[in-house]
Amino acid sequence: MVPFKMVADNLNVQVTWDGGLRQVRIYTAPTTMDVTGFYGLGDPKKGTSSWTDLFQQDYPNPATGNTDMVSKLAFCWYSMDRSGNFTASNKYGWQKPDGKDTITQL
């Protein structure tokens, strides 16, 4: 048994009881959320590219697309080899796209 009044007071949440459904509902204040999108240009035939998902255009056409849904964008153009070195060669086919500087300006 948990005294929900104490929980509500200490966590600054609102607690309600729905007797008909026999449910306790806990409401918190809205908060902001940062969303990081991960993008990697790979081989669309292998399903390793997220270009179309992000930009809603076929490569190489950048557009606003879904970029408004993310707070930050992380690019996956490199991988690390077994020695800890960054390399542009990887089994996923990730690559720096031509015109990469225009992508970061969207």
How far is Cα 40 from Cα 74, in angstroms, rounded to an integer? 9
Residue 26 structure tokens:
């806990």
Query: Each residue's pLDDT tens digit in the chain (106 positions)?
Result: 677 778 788 888 888 889 999 998 888 888 888 888 877 777 777 777 888 888 888 888 888 888 888 888 877 777 778 888 877 776 766 777 777 776 666 6
For the chain, the domains span 1-31, 36-103
Q: What is the pLDDT of residue 19?
A: 93
Tell me the C-alpha to C-alpha distance, in Å, between residue 12 and each of 5, 17, 78: 10, 17, 44
0.85 exceeded by the pTM? no
Residue 12 structure tokens:
């600054």
What residues contact 89, with CB distance under 8 A and at least 6 apart? 79
